[in-house]
Amino acid sequence: MNSEFIIAVHALVFLYHKQEVVASDVLAENVCTNPVCIRKVMGKLKKAGLVDTKEGASGGYRLCRDGADCTLQSVGEALGTEFVKATWTSGNADKECMICSGMAKIIDEMASDINKLCREYMEKLTVADIERKVLASKSENTQDSSIMKIL
């Protein structure tokens, strides 16, 4: 996961919880980042139809759909998120050794397969699920607020 995905999920959960238009500086304070980062991420979410904007002095962002219908996979798609990415692989495709020349391809295939599993998992999670989990984790009477319990 990259920081844009984390910012987006946090901001969407906050918007869902507030159920009102929220200014970028208020979102930035809640997410603990700067308003420029918020505006960059929210612009991508708006383009994908996940949030709407209101202009003017009382302007800001609001969630366009019900939090129960907003999957984390749709957030990932809006941002072009790769959940797992091999930034470096060992070996060299030009070497004669089968292990050395074949390793990078196998690692890339593994990353692709893990991304597929992540996308399937994120399709099962919604903004509403995350809000419930956050609120449950703050409750003293919560027995198990594991995200796996939601699924």
Query: pLDDT digits over 40-86, tens only?
Result: 999 999 999 999 999 888 899 999 999 999 999 999 999 999 988 88
Whether 141 shows a pLDDT value over 80: the answer reads no
CATH number at residue 140: 1.10.10.10
User: What share of the chain in percent tops pLDDT 90?
Assistant: 75
Q: How many domains does the chain have?
A: 1
34, two tokens: 């700067």
Distances in Å between the Cα of 88 and the Cα atoms of 63, 92, 100, 107, 136 are: 37, 12, 14, 9, 39
What is the tens place of the pLDDT at every residue in 55-65? 888 899 999 99
- Please state the rounded mean pLDDT for residues 97-125: 94
Domain span holding position 12: 3-150
Distances in Å between the Cα of 32 and the Cα atoms of 11, 103, 150 are: 10, 40, 26
Q: Rounded to two decimals, what is the model's pTM?
A: 0.84
User: What share of the chain in percent tops pLDDT 70?
Assistant: 91
Within 10 angstroms of residue 112's Cβ, the number of other Cβ atoms is 13
Q: What is the structure's pLDDT at 139?
A: 74
